[in-house]
A and B are shown apart, each in its own frame.
Chain A
Amino acid sequence: MLDVEAQEPPKGKWSTPPFDPRFPNQNQIRNCYQNFLDYHLCLKTRTRRGKSTQPCEYYFRVYHSLCPISWVESWNEQIKNGTFAGKI
């Protein structure tokens, strides 16, 4: 998992996750979870192909802004233990 500091954009560039038309309703849990999955999928795919993982930063910033950190920590713990239920 890449270091958090390395993911930080330069000041003034990143504002906040934009409106995502895939998730227009009030319950944004899928928005948060999907971006978390997309980040890990992106990392896995690009690392496998030997490319830079810098474009995956977008997904990281979105889920970091939207998801409660306790959820993220527990998901990361599950990934480390190999018990994460999502497809990544």
Chain B
Amino acid sequence: MAHAAQVGLQDATSPIMEELIIFHDHALMIIFLICFLVLYALFLTLTTKLTNTNISDAQEMETIWTILPAIILVLIALPSLRILYMTDEINDPSFTIKSIGHQWYWTYEYTDYGGLIFNSYMLPPLFLEPGDLRLLDVDNRVVLPVEAPVRMMITSQDVLHSWAVPTLGLKTDAIPGRLNQTTFTATRPGVYYGQCSEICGANHSFMPIVLELIPLKIFEMGPVFAL
């Protein structure tokens, strides 16, 4: 989860998110360099005593400051597209879960084996135990195995919602009448939080998502399923 006043991205829990963090660092460095260059040029322009009322054209400089930004944009676009295609790779999933958005809670369906269906409501403030996270913790978490490709099918029963877990690099809209698929592979166990990311009414801020990722061996023992 994010800590208070956090500005940067959360630590990655999936390979795609790791790539996204590296890309973000790369793009942000380019942005900072350009900003500082422009600010420095502006500063020099504003503080110089030199004057020249004779400037007509500067073909060489114009060429450079057209070609160089084009090159910089290509350097940003190539890694970006690489990651975009990486998210679409065919990765034979080993587990499928459905997540259905309602106003204002999520329903999760584990129907590969048997039928486990449950709702996940945010814990109201009065029901929080000491140590629980306000506005983030839920009554029933989504329990999933680590290091197994998981396929999430996301839809909505009423209005638009969005199922997001930043640490896994996931955000997929829950659209009524549509069944969106997203896949991920978690690399480490833990409890990870996300929040509904599409405005959906009065309690849009109060329908969080909590994933509990456990080792595959323990998951296979079936603590999740009442079979």
Complex contact A29–B96 (CB within 8 A): no
Q: Are A69 and B109 in contact (CB under 8 A)?
A: yes
**Proximity string of chain B (99-115) to chain A, C-beta cutoff 8 Å, 1 when within and 0 when not:** 01000000001011111
Number of A residues, CB within 8 Å of B:
23
- Evaluate contact between A69 and B115: CB separation under 8 angstroms: yes
Q: Is B151 an interface residue (CB 8 A)?
A: yes
Contact for B179 among A11, A28, A69, CB less than 8 A: A28
Interface flag for B94 (CB, 8 Å):
yes
Is A81 part of the contact surface with B, judged by Cβ < 8 Å? no
Interface residue? A56 (CB, 8 A) = no
Mostly, the A contact residues are loop
Known: A8-B114, A14-B112. A28 touches B181 (CB 8 A): yes
Known contacts A28-B179, A66-B153, A68-B155, A15 near B94 by CB under 8 Å: yes
**Chain B count of residues within 8 A CB distance of the other chain:** 25
Interface: B117 (CB within 8 A): yes
Contact with A along B110-148 (1 / 0, CB 8 A): 011111010000000000000000000000000000000
Query: What separation, in Å, do the CA atoms of A8 and B92 have in the docked complex?
Result: 21
Contact A15 B117 (CB under 8 A): no
**B179 nearest CB neighbor, chain A only:** A29
Check: B98 CB closer than 8 A to any chain A CB: yes
**B8 on interface, CB distance cutoff 8 Å:** no
CB distance from B44 to the nearest CB of A (A): 49
Tell me, rounded to whole Å, the shortest Cβ–Cβ distance linking A37 to chain B. 15
In the bound complex, do residue B92 and residue A19 qualify as a contact, i.e. CB atoms below 8 Å apart? yes
Q: How far is the CA of A27 from the CA of B115 in the complex (A)?
A: 23
Which A residues have a C-beta under 8 Å from some C-beta of B?
A: 4, 8, 11, 14-19, 24, 26-29, 31-32, 64-70
Top 6 A-B pairs, shortest CB-CB distance: A29-B179, A16-B96, A28-B181, A65-B96, A28-B179, A19-B90
